[in-house]
Amino acid sequence: MANDIVILGDRIMTLLNRKIIVLSLIGVIFLMANLWFAVNWLDEHGVVSWAQHIRAEYITGTAITIVIALMILLVRPKHEAVARTGLFRRCPVCDHVLLGKGTYCAECGSKV
């Protein structure tokens, strides 16, 4: 069944993936069409008031600020993305920062 595989870039889209995408799209459209009914259903079952309680108790401005600060501080800098620019590299042997386009490390002398 060679026609079941469509290649997008370097990803392989199988027939199963396409079925899942189409079914989820149908589900999203159906939900959007019945949005008012869905909101009323959630309100009747207490989900809306529960969510308001959670927001008021736990998701305060301070908590959001702390979470954002932790996300910024804990994410490692992307060495690969910076290294592709060619301006900032590191020696693969001693991890010394290399500036410029030289082919040898100034710290340990190994070829980069």
The two structure tokens encoding residue 75: 């994410």
Question: Rounded CA gap, 21 and 110, in Å?
Answer: 50
Residue 111: DSSP 8-state: B
Query: By CB under 5 A, is residue 90 in contact with Zn ion?
Result: no
Piece of the chain touching Zn ion by CB under 5 A; list 18-26, 50-58, 73-81, 85-93:
85-93
Piece of the chain touching Zn ion by CB under 5 A; list 28-36, 37-45, 81-89, 95-103:
95-103
Among 5, 59, 87, 94, binds Zn ion (CB under 5 A): 94
Radius of gyration of the chain (CA): 26
Contact 75, 67 (CB under 8 A): no
Query: By CB under 5 A, is residue 43 in contact with Zn ion?
Result: no
Give the binding-site size for Zn ion (rule: CB under 5 A): 7
